[in-house]
Amino acid sequence: MDEKVTKFICEHMKYDSLLYYAKYYDAVLFQTQKEVSGNYQVVNNLTSSIISNPLVKFTDSKCECRYCKQTKPAVTFKDKVHTFPEFLGNKLFVNKDNECDDCNHFFGDKLEPNLNSFIKALLVVDDINGKGGSKKYKSFNKMGEITHKNGSIEMSVVEGYEMVSDDPVEKKMKIKIDIPKYSLRSAYKAILKMALSILPESEISDFNFAFSCLKNNDIFGCEYIILNYYPGFNIMPFSIMLYKRKNDTVPIPKYQFAVINNNFLLQVPVFSDNDISIIDKNSFSYPKDGIPTIYDKGPLGEVQTSVYRLDQVDIVERHTVELEMNYDSRELHDGSDPVV
């Protein structure tokens, strides 16, 4: 891990996690999208410099799709391809002439909806300004609705439907949110696709299995998703992080990739073809913590980490989750108040 990054986070995060990443990984990419006076810019956190205003374009040396290996005129490159889904809050990161329109549509139609459902509860309560984000939520029975307006969350509930429970003394609220059916493998592959889209062009040939599995149901057996939830509201700006293994003889994933926004972090390992040939998935040690950040010990409590193993489950049926959140103040209306 870069010395600047270590210094940046060492006073605020889980010590064991910092030691692990400092020993085994180097930060090779850590960029943050910041809103400044109504506009956006991208900052390189490793050098503390502005690298783009407004767009960051990930390009290859030739106009060839890095996913299907096809070129013009067999495929087209007309669409504006967002490197990371807009519903996560991405505004400025795009791919240029290295993801064809067919692959872009496949990822957007087949993988990303599963990721959206996987983190639906967080998207509902987070005020993320992005295409397809959950700016407006309705329960399955249409009796509960959640919207965002001017930095506040507005909830409308039909009498008799218990979607919200409130503790005004502790200023805590529990919200029931309906989650559609989704594939955990497809959610993982949506995040993996983000990581593969920013790998150095010179290393693409080392990840043939990872690229191929994006469009089929294959898994190696050690894949996982780390989901960190940080108590609070609008804590972190949209950021991407890519960490590379220092020593290729250590049986751990070649890369670790994470995307961050508001109060969540999504992280996946990126296994090279050589990793898959030498790592024994029966004795693989799954991590307990995600990539350390300065937000791991916030004013409202420590980060809550969940690790989802792909070898244990794929299809997650429709269900309801209960999310607890803190608030500063709230106003109650009985439905008879005029709508302004």
Mean pLDDT score across all residues of the chain: 88
Strands annotated E in 163-300? 164-167, 172-179, 182-183, 224-229, 236-245, 255-262, 264-270, 297-298
pLDDT score recorded for residue 85: 96
The answer to whether the beta carbons of residues 115 and 214 sit under 8 Å apart is no
pLDDT over 90 at 258, yes or no: yes
Q: What is the pLDDT of residue 129?
A: 67
Which pLDDT score is estimated for 294?
Answer: 83
For the stretch 58-105, pLDDT in tens is 999 999 999 999 999 999 999 999 999 999 999 999 999 999 999 999
Check whether 130 has a pLDDT greater than 90: no
In the structure, what pLDDT confidence band is assigned to residue 337 with cuts at 50, 70 and 90? Answer: very low
Backbone φ, ψ for residue 269 (5° rounding): -80, 155
* Lowest-pLDDT choice from 19-23, 117-121, 244-248: 19-23
pLDDT band for position 15 (50/70/90)?
low
The yes-or-no verdict on residue 336 having pLDDT over 60 is no
Backbone region of residue 233 per phi and psi (left: phi > 0; alpha: psi in -120 to 50; beta: other values)? beta
Instruction: Say how far apart CA 87 and CA 75 lie, in whole Å.
Output: 26
Q: Is the pLDDT of residue 338 over 50?
A: no
Name the least confident of 51-65, 196-210, 292-306, 322-336.
322-336
Pairing of strands 25-36, 236-245: antiparallel
pLDDT, residue 340, reads 29
Using 50, 70 and 90 to split pLDDT, how confident is the model at 10?
Answer: very low
pLDDT at 172 exceeding the cut of 90: no
Contacts of 149 (CB under 8 A, 6+ apart): none
Q: How far apart are CA 33 and CA 29, in angstroms?
A: 13
The H or E element spanning position 241 is strand 236-245
Stretch 260-279: mean pLDDT: 95
pLDDT given for residue 216 in this prediction: 93
Q: Tokens 């993801």 sit at which residue? A: 99
* Percent of the chain whose predicted confidence (pLDDT) is above 90: 61
Q: Which residue has the higher pLDDT, 50 or 18?
A: 50
- Under 8 Å CB-to-CB from 267, ≥6 apart: which residues? 191, 225, 226, 227, 228, 256, 257, 258, 290, 291
Whole-model pTM: value is 0.90
Q: What is the mean pLDDT of residues 134-153?
A: 83
- Asked if the model's pLDDT at residue 134 lies above 70, the reply is no
Judge whether residue 312 has pLDDT over 90. Answer: no
Query: What does the pLDDT average to over 186-197?
Result: 98
Range 139-158 burial, b when 16+ CB lie within 10 A, else e: beeeebebebeeeebeeeee
Question: Of the given ranges (55-59, 154-158, 243-247), which has the lowest mean pLDDT?
Answer: 154-158
Q: Identify the residue whose tokens are 């700016």.
A: 135
Tens digits of per-residue pLDDT, 279-304?
998 888 888 888 988 888 766 678 88
